[in-house]
A and B are shown apart, each in its own frame.
Chain A
Amino acid sequence: MTAALLEVRGLKTHFPTSSGIARAVDGVSFTLERGEVLGLVGESGSGKSVTGFSLIGLVDEPGRIVDGEIRFEGRDLVGQPTKELRRIRGRDIAMVFQDPMMTLNPVLSIATQMHLALEAHEKIGKEEARQRSIEALARVGIPSPEGRIDSFPHQFSGGMRQRVAIAIALLHRPKLIIADEPTTALDVSIQAQILAEMKALVKEFGMAMIWISHDLATVSSIADRIAVMYAGRIVEAGPVGQVLRSPRHPYTQGLLDSLPTRTSPGEELAQIPGTTPSLINLPSGCAFAPRCARANAECAVIPEEVYEDARRFRCHHPLPERSTP
């Protein structure tokens, strides 16, 4: 068996602040095979986006990766000089962001922005860059790309802008694409379109993808595996069907309970009591314990990871496995 495409081990990304160290990512490990889609799920502030940015070395100042390794095709990216990382960004690992209104430069034409992205990794003439860009735009479903390539971002709708951003991310046919909530800012109907589009593209290119989202519904429809993050750690991970059908960690169960369902309309949704803990003063044991109905004295110690077949979770009192119907 060849090495996995991406292997993250004990990744810790911390942000020193005036009131202490914020442990945004605190010991995250996962592997990703070629062509696999991993859904990274969690609430705001759970560290899922920071994990994504850590992978390409673009953590905001003053944050830094303090420990762990990120092996991409066997090579550790942590501690690589910026120049090396830049060669990987966009070419091997690309990223799509949440808000397409904010990611594209409003004063540069689409053609210019795509040309810059192409130029970043290869010597390319203007005409060729244009041809490649038009092909890329056509691939993500933008109608009559020849006519629209000279337009500016404000002349596109939100969904179309996100398609342009995806086209830019796919220009170099990366091996891994990190999608940081790419559908959150879009209308529901557009969300479904983009989701289907991404699914098809990932398959066509044989790309691996990390789909970062707080939306379990989108994740369940696109991911092969899912990893649930809470306060900087992965609390549960496994094949998407198993995890969602029979969550073992109480937090995952809580997330599922707070989703509206079609079978019980009008009923009040269950909430997880309490709020997400401050990343500066994390409880010393399980971070979820203060909000967890199953917690007891044992939870003052960080639980070891439990492996069961393809799944793993961190909990002293896991929910019993439900037999699948």
Chain B
Amino acid sequence: MLGFIIQRLWQAVIVILAMSVLVFCGVYAVGNPIDVLISPDATQEIREQVIAQYGLDLPLWQQYFGFFQRMLHGDFGESFVYNMPVTTLILSRLPATFELVLFAVVGASVIGIPLGMYAGYKPESRTAKLIMGLSILGFSVPSFWIGLVLIMTFAVQLGWLPAGGRGETAELFGVDWSFLTLDGLKHMVLPAINLALFKLAMMIRLARAGTREIMLTDTIKFARAAGLSERTVLIRHVLRLIAIPLVTIFGLELGSTLAFAVVTETIFSWPGLGKLIIDSITSLDRPVMVAYLMMVALLFVVINFCVDLAYALLDPRLRRARA
């Protein structure tokens, strides 16, 4: 197990290194931030002074090494737009996205897996067909449209829930969270549903396909022949056997949603990371873009590592191979 962890850490370092090069060069290729930083009627003197101040006159590789050195110290520079350290800026937005995404992805799994298992267990039943019909809807209807419909229905017409914003927050571990207050929770319901629908559909399909396949195996026949109840068969045998693909998708979805909840956050004006990255791209706020993309890479490395650990917990056959 220790060898496995060391191996993964080593891989993580390489991934982060490669990402830092790609991200830096990619962002460097986009536009000229000087046009954004100073007013067009500034004198040539001021212009050159600002360029030298940000080191934009140096060759690319020197700029990269400067960036890399600062990154090792946890310093991603200052945002051009907000005039504050990028790290602080991102960390101030992260909790909002984090809680929203966690609610959406966990909610989608908790609801989707049982529904999918039922649909796979009784594929011919009417309920199963209804579930599958809904999942197609969740897959194919665009998220921004559902978001607008949700706002129209529950915020504008019925007036039950707020249309946007984070609402009241409460502090925990020095961070503001919406889910700790009733008002915050109310604000979170609609965007969380909006984010969750696609994932719900995916979890349903995945759980259904796995269940259908497993139900036909001799393992299940043998369990039934031993007199196990259908409930026990489903919960103790089937769920454990379909868990691996579910955990994989759970991890990937968690990562990609954390990184790219842009549409939902924009529609519900949720002050999270998605909005931040869109704003920074339009204003060519390079340090924010680079730091954000590095954070996303790190996020995926961490999540994949956790998923791998979960595999080992779920499947004893993998434990030995890696030990």
Contacts and interface: CB of A to CB of B under 8 A. Distances in A.
Interface residues of B, number: 24
A215 B318 CA distance: 36
B70 interface: no
Interface in A83-115: 86-91, 94-95, 97-99, 102-109, 112
B240 A108 contact: yes
Nearest to B218: A102
Interface string B221-252: 11111111100100011001101000000000
A171 B317 CA distance: 26
Assign chain A's interface to a size class.
35 or more
Contacts of A117: 226-228
Contact of B232 (A60, A104, A120): A120
A115 to B, nearest CB: 10
Contacts of A121: 227
Interface string A68-92: 0000000000000000001111110
A94 B226 contact: yes
B226 A89 contact: yes
B240 A105 contact: yes
A86 B217 CA distance: 19
A163 to B, nearest CB: 14
Nearest to A154: B317
B315 interface: yes
A10 to B, nearest CB: 24
B240 A89 contact: no
B225 to A, nearest CB: 4
A194 interface: no
Contact of B316 (A87, A106, A120): A106
B314 A107 contact: yes
Contacts of A88: 227
Nearest to B237: A105
Contact of A106 (B223, B225, B317): B317
A195 to B, nearest CB: 20
Given A152-B316, A152-B317, A108 B236 contact: yes
A240 interface: no
Contacts of B237: 105, 108
A116 B314 CA distance: 18
B321 to A, nearest CB: 10
Contacts of B232: 116, 119-120
A104 B237 CA distance: 10
Contact of B219 (A94, A95, A105, A152): A105
Interface in B268-306: none
Given A89-B224, A95-B222, A102-B219, A107 B229 contact: no
B225 A89 contact: yes
Contacts of A56: 225
A116 B228 contact: yes
Among B222, B223, B229, B316, chain A packs the most CB atoms within 10 A around the CB of B222
Contacts of B218: 97-99, 102-103
A90 B226 contact: yes
A216 interface: no
Contacts of A86: 224, 227-229
A87 B224 contact: no
Given A58-B221, A154-B317, A105 B229 contact: no
A102 B217 contact: yes
A169 B228 CA distance: 12
Nearest to A109: B316
B225 A95 contact: yes
Given A97-B221, A97-B222, A105-B237, A120 B229 contact: yes
A221 B129 CA distance: 51
Given A107-B315, A120-B232, A90 B240 contact: no
A193 B241 CA distance: 31
Interface string A104-144: 11111100100011011100000000000000000000000
B322 to A, nearest CB: 14
Contact of A165 (B222, B224, B316): B222
B222 A89 contact: no
By CB atoms of chain B within 10 A, which of A87, A109, A120, A168 has the most? A120
A120 B241 contact: no
Contacts of B221: 58, 97, 103
Interface string B72-108: 0000000000000000000000000000000000000
A118 to B, nearest CB: 9
17 contacts: A86-B224, A94-B226, A95-B225, A97-B225, A102-B219, A103-B221, A105-B237, A106-B315, A107-B240, A107-B314, A116-B226, A116-B236, A117-B227, A120-B232, A165-B222, A169-B226, A171-B226
Listed from nearest, the 10 A-B pairs whose CB atoms lie closest are A90-B227, A90-B226, A103-B222, A102-B218, A152-B316, A89-B227, A95-B225, A120-B227, A117-B226, A103-B218
Interface of B: 216-219, 221-229, 232, 236-237, 240-241, 243, 314-317, 320
Interface of A: 56, 58, 60, 86-91, 94-95, 97-99, 102-109, 112, 116-117, 119-121, 152, 154-155, 165, 168-169, 171
Given A107-B314, A109-B316, A120-B226, 4 more contacts: A90-B227, A102-B217, A105-B240, A120-B228
